Structure 1
Amino acid sequence: MTDTSCTRNDNLAWVAGSDAPEKGRVNLGFMPLSDAASLIVAATQGFAQPYGLTLELKRQTSWAGLRDRLQSGELDAAHALYGQVYGTHLGLGGAPTEMAILMGLCQNGQAINLCEPLRRAGVTNADALVAQVRQRGAKLTFAQTFPTGTHAMWLNYWLAAHGIHPLEEVNTLVLPPAQMVRHLRSGQIDGFCAGGPWGALAVDEKQGFTLATSQMIWPDHPEKVLACTRAFAERYPNTARALTMAVLEASRFIDASDENRRGTARLISGGEYLDAPLSAIEPRFLGLYEDGLGYAWRDAHPLRFFAGGEATMPWLSDGIWFMTQFRRWGLLKEDPDYLGVARQVHQLEGYREAAEALGIEVPARPMRSSRLFDGRVWDGSDPAGYARSFAVHAHPSLTPLAADARS
C-alpha cells in the first residue's frame, strides 16, 4: 500500500499542551471484516502518530468477546456493531455498561446468503424462500452474528417484510462471522447474514449465493461504529478526540479513489487482519458484485467509509432505529426514552470538534430521513409509533432476549 503518512502541521496543536492525549497508546479491537478497514489503515499507515497516538490493533474472534473486553477495559475502543453498542448500554443480555459512539465507521456492505442445496432446489428468490418455509417440515436455520447486532436486525427485517416471522418460522443461531462459510459448507446452517468478505467467499467457493445485500434493505444504512465505554470517553476526552480524528482521516483516504480502495483491500487481506483471499474482498470493496446465480452488477450503494462525512456522522436517528427494532422483537419490554438514550450514547460534540478541525462538514441536525425497501420512511420523529407499526412483530409472551453465544 502506498505510504500515506504526511506532515499535518495544521493539526499539531491538538497534540500539545492541554489538548495532548491523556493516553498515548490505545488498544483498539476489531473483527476480521472488510468494514474494519479504516481502523487498520489508521493504525498502520501513519494517520495516528500526528495526533500523539499509537494504535495497538487487537483482532477479536467473536462480538461477544469484543464486548466483554470493552466492558472490562482490556480494549480501550473498538470496531463495533451499531446495535450491539445500544444493547450493551441498555443491559440486553448482560449487565448494562454506559457506552459511547465516537463516530460511524461505514455504511452498507453486508449480505444475506443461502446455501448451495437451496439453490439446487430452486430457492433463489424471496417468494421461493417463503414457499420453502411454509412447506418444509423442519425449520430452516439462519445464522447472524450477535443478538442485538446489525445482522440480526437486517435478517429479521428482511424476513418479516416478506411475511416470514423470524422468531417463529425459522431457527436462528449466533456465529462469529469468520465461521459462517464453514457452517454453510457443513450443512449446519441454511443461510447467514454477515459482513464482508464472508458472503463473497461463500460465492467464490460455490458454497452459497447472495440473496440480498443489506443496502437493498436500506440504502446507505448505518453499520459499524467506533465505540468505547462512556467512562473511557469521559476520562480521556483528548484521546477520544485524537482517535476520532485519526480514523476520520483514514476513512477519507480510503474513499478518495479506487486506487486507495484497492491498496486498502490488499492491506486488510493479510493474515494478521482478515486472513482472507483478496478475490473475496476487493470486488465488493469496489462495489462490484456477483450473486452466485449468474448476475453481476455495480452497486449504487457500496460499502462507504466516508462519503463526504455522511458515513462517519453519528446520526441520532440511526441509533434510535435499532432501539425501535429491539422493541419490535421483544428485546425491550417497554419503550425507552429513545432520544434521551441516543443523546447519552452519541458523542456529538466530540465528533463535531474532530470533524471541523479537519474541514469536514457536520450537518446542523443529527437526524436524517431514509426510505427502506418496503417503502417505509424512517426519520426518527416517532420511534414508539414506528416500533408498533409493523404487522410482523414479537408476541408479548416471548422472553426479552436469549443468552448470547460466546463462541
Structure 2
Amino acid sequence: MIHSDPPTRPDPLAWVAGSDAPEKRVVNLGFMALTDAASLIVAATQGFAQPYGLTLNLHRQASWSNVRDKLIEGELDAAHGLYALIYAVHLGIGGSAPVDMAVLMGLAQNGQSITLSNTLRSASVTDPEALAASVRQSGAKLTLAQTFPTGTHALWLYYWLAAHGIHPLKDVRTLVVPPSQMVAHLRARRIDGFCAGEPWGAQAMQEEMGFTVATSQSIWPDHPEKVLGCTRAFVEEYPNTARALVMAILEASRFIDESRENRRSTAQLIAGGAYVDAPLAAIEPRFLGHYEDGLGHAWQDKHPLRFFGSGEVNVPYLSDGLWFMTQLRRWGLLRDDPDYFAVVQSVQQTSLYRDAATALNIPLPNSLMRSATLMDGSRWDGSDPAGYARSFALHSLADPAVRHVPC
C-alpha cells in the first residue's frame, strides 16, 4: 500500500447516500500496461474510491482494440483510453457502426516517446534530418510501429514525421503493435522504431535495443494524452456513478502529483506484475521527469508526464477533442469534415466534470478552449478546425491511393 490512512476528502458521505448515491457501486475499469494508467491503479487500490461508495475492479487489457471492443460491449464500464480512439469509435472510423462515446476527464499529459532502433543508430541515423535522408535514399521503406490506427501514438508519430518532411502514409510503412510488445518487435528486427507510451521507450533504451529520438512533449508541450472514456449510455444510465468515479480518480491524480515521494511510491506500485509488469528502473526515472535518450544526453524534462497539475490535466477541454478530430481528418481517416463543434460538445462531459471538480475545490478554467504552439510552429486555438486540418503542407485529406488499416 502507498499509504495506510484513508485520504482526507471534503464531505464524501454527501456522495454515497440519498439521491446522489452511485447507481452502480462496482465499476469495471480497463487499463493498458502503461505508466499513465497510474491514477486508475492508485484510485482502485489505495482507498480513494470507497468513500464515494465505489469498488473499482481493474482489468488489464492486451491491446487497445480490446479496450474499444469491451467498452462497446459493456464488459468494461470505463477505461484508460487513447483520446483519439474514443473519437474514432464515436465517429464510426474503422468499418464498424458509430457508438456514442464520452470523455469523462483527462488522465495524463505528456510522457510518450518515439524510439528508433540501434541498427539505425549504427548507420548514423540518430536525428530527424538523418532519418529523412535515409528515407529518401533507401530503396526499402522503414517500418515504424504505433499502437492503434486511430490512437494518439499514430498521430504523434505522423505529426513528427510530417514536420520533418516525411509522409507517414507514403514514405514509411507503419505497423500496429500493442505497447508492451514493442521492445520484442524491435529485438526481433521486425520494426525499425516505434511510438508508444512509457515505460516501453525507456525499456528499449535500457536493453540497448533502441534510443529516444523524440518525446511527445517536444511535439506539443503539455499535450492531452489518455482520458477516462466510456460509452454515452453508461453516463446516461449511471450519472452518479460516473461523477463519483471522476471524483475518486481526481483525488488519486492529485495525490500522485503532490510530492516526489508520492511519485516514487506510485512508480513502485504500478511496476507490479498485475499492472505494468516492468522493471522499476524502466519506470521510475521518466515517471520523475528524468530522461536519458540512449545517445549520451540526459535532462530533467520541463514538461514531464503529469496527472493533475492543479486540475489542468483533467479538464475535458473542447479544444483538445477538436484537435484530435483535425488530425483524423488531416490523414484521411475521416473522409469528410464532421460537425466538429457538435461532436465535441456531445463527447466531452464538461458539466459532469465541473460538478466533480467543484465538489473537490479543484480550480476550473475560464474557458474550455486552450491554445498551443506545436513543434512546427503551427498555432492551435480550436477556432477553425476544418481550416486547421487543411493548413499542413503534408496531409492525405482526400487521397484515394492511401490505404487505411481498419482499427
TM-score (norm: length of structure 1): 0.98
Question: Match for residue 357 of structure 1?
Answer: 359
Runs of 4+ in 1 over 4 A off after TM superposition: none
Alignment deviations for residues 86-134 of structure 1 (CA, whole Å, 9 cap, x no partner): 0000000022110000000000000000001001110000110001101
Could you tell me the percent identity over the aligned residues?
69
1:42–1:250 contact (8 Å) kept in structure 2: yes
1:269–1:281 contact (8 Å) kept in structure 2: yes
What amino acid maps onto 2:292 in structure 1? E
1:137 deviates by 1.1
Question: Match for residue 63 of structure 1?
Answer: 64
1:29–1:58 contact (8 Å) kept in structure 2: yes
Tell whether 2:279 aligns with 1:269. Answer: no
Q: Tell me the SS of whatever aligns to 1:113.
A: strand
Alignment deviations for residues 355-400 of structure 1 (CA, whole Å, 9 cap, x no partner): 0000001112110011101111101001011000001011521457
In 1, Cα distance between equivalents of 2:15 and 2:55: 15
User: Which residues in structure 2 correspond to 1:8-407 (within 5 Å)?
Assistant: 8=9, 10-93=11-94, 94-394=96-396, 395-398=398-401, 401-404=404-407
Q: Pick closer, same or farther for the CA change 1:23–1:136 going to 2, 3 Å.
A: same
In 2, Cα distance between equivalents of 1:307 and 1:209: 29
Return 5+ residue gaps in structure 1 as ranges. Answer: none
Q: Tell me the SS of whatever aligns to 1:289.
A: strand
1:51 deviates by 0.1
What amino acid maps onto 1:168 in structure 2? K
In 2, Cα distance between equivalents of 1:355 and 1:241: 9
Alignment deviations for residues 187-239 of structure 1 (CA, whole Å, 9 cap, x no partner): 00000000000000000110000000000000000000001100000000000
In 1, Cα distance between equivalents of 2:401 and 2:235: 36
TM-score (norm: length of structure 2): 0.98
In 2, Cα distance between equivalents of 1:3 and 1:339: 45
In 2, Cα distance between equivalents of 1:148 and 1:7: 39
In 2, Cα distance between equivalents of 1:196 and 1:217: 16
In 2, Cα distance between equivalents of 1:254 and 1:239: 23
Count of matched residue positions in the alignment of Structure 1 and Structure 2: 404
2:170–2:402 contact (8 Å) kept in structure 1: no
What amino acid maps onto 2:404 in structure 1? L
What amino acid maps onto 1:75 in structure 2? L
1:100–1:229 contact (8 Å) kept in structure 2: yes
Q: Pick closer, same or farther for the CA change 1:403–1:4 going to 2, 3 Å.
A: farther
Alignment deviations for residues 246-297 of structure 1 (CA, whole Å, 9 cap, x no partner): 0000000000000000000000000000100000000000000000000000
Return 5+ residue gaps in structure 2 as ranges. Answer: none
What amino acid maps onto 1:13 in structure 2? A
2:10–2:359 contact (8 Å) kept in structure 1: no
In 1, Cα distance between equivalents of 2:345 and 2:387: 20
RMSD: 1.0
1:335 deviates by 0.8
2:169–2:402 contact (8 Å) kept in structure 1: no
